[in-house]
Amino acid sequence: MATHLVQDHLTLTRRTGQSVSFSCGGTDQCGGYSVIWYQKKETETFRAILYIFSGGSPSKPFNHPQQDDFSAERNDNICLLKIQNVTDIHSASYYCGCPIYIFGFHPWR
């Protein structure tokens, strides 16, 4: 069964130094699995930032160059990606998703 997550905004405008949060709804459909946040810059491919389990702390194994700028929170049905101090380098669209599992393999569980 496909998972349908809901994002109200992929891109939000903020001034340098402000904070921003992106929300991802429907994360209860990810079950016990993680939600992954991705960054998509205009001329680049999708790049994973972090993943988070419900009620857990974010993990950042993807070596994103600005990984320390991002934080996340997740409860049963919503996940938030946060940037506390926005700079020009954060100019991008942000997407959430549940990982795809093949043959029961899941490296983040």
Ramachandran category for residue 67: left, alpha or beta (phi over 0 → left; psi -120 to 50 → alpha): alpha
In our burial notation (b when 16+ CB lie closer than 10 A, e otherwise), range 30-44 reads beebbbbbbbeeeee
Domains of the chain: 17-97 (2.60.40.10)
Contact between residue 81 and residue 73 where contact means Cβ atoms under 8 Å apart: no
* pLDDT at res. 14: 83
Which helix (H) or strand (E) is 37 found in, with range? strand 35-40
pTM of the shown model: 0.85
Distance CA 56, CA 73 (A): 8
* pLDDT at res. 1: 46
Which helix (H) or strand (E) is 99 found in, with range? none
- Per-residue pLDDT of 65-78, as tens digits, reads 999 999 999 987 89
- Per-residue pLDDT of 20-60, as tens digits, reads 999 999 998 887 788 999 999 999 999 999 999 988 899 99
Q: What would the two tokens of residue 6 be? A: 């809901």
| 8 confidence band (pLDDT: 50, 70, 90) | confident
- Per-residue pLDDT of 81-104, as tens digits, reads 999 999 999 999 999 998 865 555
Distance CA 37, CA 34 (A): 10
